[in-house]
């Protein structure tokens, strides 16, 4: 289990995360939903400490990792970075490296795996995301969906205890969304523990075992997709879901 405790983050006067506590069980696929600007990306970024919060800890393997300034020890942060793999909206591949080299990079530099072995592992992960025939391609010769699948292979190849996805499909052309969602679904089926920020609500309903509704710095609700979407307890979540459901109405469906 990974525990997030007392996580608070503000930007100047803007309190974005207010004492967040979250227990992530092995194999959990947690979707984070909530209005724009509510702190979903900030939550993911603080968990991996790409953003430095005012307070908070992450507990992994019985180690309590301080996230606040002055509380984080270098050795602990190294464990944190090895334990978490982030997939960004814009995939962030090295454009001067091939797909294979992108997947190998972290294994060689962070995990110190010998190159030949890293290459073998990288190829197996490219195969898992259906891109073994693109190993030698540079990002500019790959579609957005393919680049995102390389980014997912790169994150999975590090064998992180926790995969973090921040709107992995929102920068893609609609026709490419499905292939990336399929890849994420395969990772979920393979038992990866993950937190996913996504506006693909149908996907969230099918793939997540837990959904968290975040608003005004708080986790307002935390439940199964059925509980969250079919039986929201709070007025705010009810309103949020009504807004989403409107997009499924005939007026908006092509």
Ligand X SMILES: Nc1ncnc2c1ncn2[C@@H]1O[C@H](COP(=O)(O)OP(=O)(O)OP(=O)(O)O)[C@@H](O)[C@H]1O
Q: Which residues form the interface with Mg ion (CB under 5 A)?
A: 41
Residue 124 near which of Mg ion, ligand X, none (CB within 5-8 Å, type-dependent): none
Alpha helices per DSSP H over 129-234 = 144-157, 174-189, 201-207, 225-230
As measured in angstroms, the least distance from the Cβ of 157 to Mg ion is 25
Report CA-CA distances (Å) from 58 to 25, 31, 237. Answer: 13, 19, 27
Question: Between 52 and 79, whose beta carbon lies closer to ligand X?
Answer: 52
Closest CA to 198 of 91, 92, 93, 89: 89
As measured in angstroms, the least distance from the Cβ of 44 to ligand X is 8
As measured in angstroms, the least distance from the Cβ of 168 to Mg ion is 11
Residue 94 near which of ligand X, Mg ion, none (CB within 5-8 Å, type-dependent): none
Question: Between 28 and 167, whose beta carbon lies closer to Mg ion?
Answer: 167
Q: How far apart (Å, rounded) are the C-alpha atoms in residues 179 and 129?
A: 9
Question: Between 35 and 223, whose beta carbon lies closer to Mg ion?
Answer: 35
Residue 83 near which of ligand X, Mg ion, none (CB within 5-8 Å, type-dependent): none
Residue 11 near which of Mg ion, ligand X, none (CB within 5-8 Å, type-dependent): ligand X
Closest CA to 147 of 196, 57, 87: 87
As measured in angstroms, the least distance from the Cβ of 166 to ligand X is 7
Report CA-CA distances (Å) from 192 to 116, 122, 220. Answer: 25, 17, 25
Question: Between 123 and 196, whose beta carbon lies closer to Mg ion?
Answer: 196
What phi and psi values does residue 109 have, to the nearest 5 degrees? -85, -40
Please, what's the largest Cα pairwise distance for the chain?
56
Q: Which residue is nearest to Mg ion (CB)?
A: 41
Residue 95 near which of ligand X, Mg ion, none (CB within 5-8 Å, type-dependent): none
Strands across the sheet containing 2-11: 14-24, 2-11, 55-60, 63-66
As measured in angstroms, the least distance from the Cβ of 134 to Mg ion is 28
Question: Between 67 and 214, whose beta carbon lies closer to Mg ion?
Answer: 214
Residue 39 near which of ligand X, Mg ion, none (CB within 5-8 Å, type-dependent): ligand X
Contact 152, 184 (CB under 8 A): yes
First to last CA, the chain: 43
Binding region for ligand X (CB under 6 A): 11, 14, 16, 34, 36-42
As measured in angstroms, the least distance from the Cβ of 44 to Mg ion is 8
Q: Dig out the tokens for 47 from the structure.
A: 């968990």
Question: Between 32 and 156, whose beta carbon lies closer to ligand X?
Answer: 32
Question: Between 135 and 151, whose beta carbon lies closer to Mg ion?
Answer: 151
Q: How far apart (Å, rounded) are the C-alpha atoms in residues 75 and 218?
A: 30
Q: How far apart (Å, rounded) are the C-alpha atoms in residues 165 and 148?
A: 11
As measured in angstroms, the least distance from the Cβ of 88 to ligand X is 12
């Amino acid at each position: 289990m990974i525990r997030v405790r007392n996580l608070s983050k503000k930007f100047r006067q803007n309190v974005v995360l207010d004492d967040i506590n979250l227990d992530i069980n092995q194999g959990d696929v947690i979707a984070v939903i909530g209005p724009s600007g509510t702190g979903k990306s900030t939550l993911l970024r603080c968990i991996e400490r790409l953003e430095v919060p005012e307070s908070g800890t992450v507990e992994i393997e019985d180690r309590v990792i301080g996230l606040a300034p002055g509380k984080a020890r270098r050795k602990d942060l190294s464990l944190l970075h090895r334990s978490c793999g982030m997939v960004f909206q814009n995939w962030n591949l090295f454009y001067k490296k091939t797909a294979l080299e992108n997947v190998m990079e972290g294994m060689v530099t962070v995990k110190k795996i010998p190159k030949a072995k890293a290459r073998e592992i990288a190829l197996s992960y490219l195969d898992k995301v259906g891109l073994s025939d693109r190993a030698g391609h540079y990002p500019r010769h790959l579609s957005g969906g393919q680049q995102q699948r390389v980014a997912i292979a790169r994150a999975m190849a590090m064998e992180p205890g926790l995969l973090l996805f921040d709107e992995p499909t929102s920068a893609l052309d609609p026709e490419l969304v499905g292939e990336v969602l399929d890849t994420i679904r395969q990772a979920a089926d393979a038992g990866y523990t993950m937190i996913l920020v996504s506006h693909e609500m149908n996907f969230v309903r099918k793939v997540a075992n837990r959904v968290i509704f975040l608003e005004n710095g708080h986790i307002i609700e935390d439940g199964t997709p059925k509980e969250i979407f079919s039986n929201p307890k709070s007025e705010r979540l009810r309103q949020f879901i009504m807004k989403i459901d409107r997009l499924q109405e005939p007026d908006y469906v092509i």
